[in-house]
């Protein structure tokens, strides 16, 4: 392990959406790096599996189960985390939902889900984490956006894309405010294209609908590498914005 990554050993992380896919892979890798990791999601049984993997890898784990579309859930998670381990040094805002495909035809509740989880929950977590990270070095906030947060191609669900655009702007605003406050928190946005995760096996997912990916997708391990890259940057370097496309993704 590099000297830069060693700086994070024993630090306390919160990874949202860690019951599955990208969040689970990042949380498990934090276990390998020797962090204490709080994992969130709605499914306590799936979170218990992530927690077991973190512990098996050498880290410590705390399960926080709840629906982050409820604003109060996010604040409850931070209160529980601080009560358990005293503080937080790393936040990975990863939980996300598609929130429907059509802004005209889908039920309002479906669209509201994406706004509440992808934007409001992420913003509450950023605020809670930034307050806890005041004066800390190292500390990091990493937000998982999407290539749909950078451009919209025909067929992209517009509300989902809008939430990921919002997350991109909020991430840069957070970075700027923290710098102006003299804080040393690393703030990064990771924007993947297509990634092979259970996301695509949901009822409205690509695999469910089409039976196969149109080109070889990224893996969650590719996102893990990007997170390690962000955390590996020397103290004077901010890795702000990483876009990762599968090599064969045409847009
Ligand atoms: N897969 C891709 O192609 C792709 C591409 C670009 C960006 N992304 C982004 O990557 C992130 C992770 O996606 P993934 O592909 O790893 O999907 P995933 O395997 O479906 O994981 C989604 C995670 O979000 C959690 N979550 C969903 N709704 C929640 C809610 N209401 N409250 C709390 N937690 C909730 C899920 O936990 P529970 O089910 O236990 O609640 C799960 O842990 C998302 O932000 C997504 O937008 C994915």
Question: For 90-127, what is each residue's pLDDT tens digit?
Answer: 999 999 999 999 999 999 999 999 999 999 999 999 99
- Asked if 54 and 12 touch (Cβ cutoff 8 Å), the reply is no
Ligand 1 pocket check for 99: Cβ under 6 Å: no
Distance CA 93, CA 8 (A): 18
- Asked if 187 and 171 touch (Cβ cutoff 8 Å), the reply is yes
155: which residues sit within 8 A by CB, 6+ positions away? none
Helix extents (H) in the chain: 3-6, 21-32, 44-57, 71-85, 108-114, 122-132, 158-180, 206-210, 220-232
Distance CA 224, CA 23 (A): 9
Ligand 1 pocket check for 214: Cβ under 6 Å: no
Using 50, 70 and 90 to split pLDDT, how confident is the model at 208? very high
Q: What does the buried/exposed string (b/e) look like for 211-231 if buried means 16 or more CB atoms within 10 Å of the residue's CB?
A: eeeeeebbebebbbebbbebb
Three-state DSSP class for 189?
A: strand
What pLDDT digit, counting tens, does each position of 56-81 carry? Answer: 999 999 999 999 999 999 999 999 99
Ligand 1 atom 42 nearest Cα: 17
CA–centroid distance, 133 to ligand 1, in Å, is 25
Ligand 1 pocket check for 42: Cβ under 6 Å: yes
In the chain the domains, ranked by start, together with CATH numbers, are 3-244 (3.40.50.720)
Distance CA 70, CA 154 (A): 31
pLDDT of res. 2: 85
At residue 1, does pLDDT exceed 90?
no
CA–centroid distance, 17 to ligand 1, in Å, is 6
CA–centroid distance, 37 to ligand 1, in Å, is 18
């Amino acid at each position: 392990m590099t000297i830069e990554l060693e700086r994070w050993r024993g630090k306390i992380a919160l990874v949202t959406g860690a019951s599955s896919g990208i969040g689970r892979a990042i949380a498990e890798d934090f276990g390998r790096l020797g962090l204490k990791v709080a994992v969130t999601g709605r499914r306590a049984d799936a979170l218990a599996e992530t927690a077991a993997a973190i512990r098996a890898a050498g880290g410590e784990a705390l399960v926080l189960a709840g629906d982050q579309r409820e604003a109060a859930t996010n604040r409850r998670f931070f209160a529980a985390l601080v009560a358990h381990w005293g503080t937080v040094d790393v936040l990975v805002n990863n939980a996300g939902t598609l929130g429907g495909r059509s802004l005209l035809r889908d039920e309002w509740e479906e669209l509201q889900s994406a706004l509440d989880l992808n934007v409001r929950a992420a913003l509450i977590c950023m605020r809670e984490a930034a307050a806890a990270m005041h004066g800390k070095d190292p500390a990091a906030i990493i937000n998982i956006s999407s290539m749909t947060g950078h451009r919209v191609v025909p067929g992209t669900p517009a509300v989902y894309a809008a939430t990921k655009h919002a997350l991109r702007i909020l991430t840069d605003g957070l970075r700027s405010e923290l710098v102006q406050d003299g804080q040393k928190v690393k703030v990064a946005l990771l924007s993947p294209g297509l990634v092979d995760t259970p996301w695509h096996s949901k009822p409205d997912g690509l695999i469910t609908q089409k039976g196969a990916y149109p080109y070889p997708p990224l893996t969650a391990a590719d996102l893990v590498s990007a997170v390690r890259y962000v955390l590996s940057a020397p103290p004077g370097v901010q890795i702000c914005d990483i876009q990762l496309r599968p090599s064969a993704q045409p847009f």
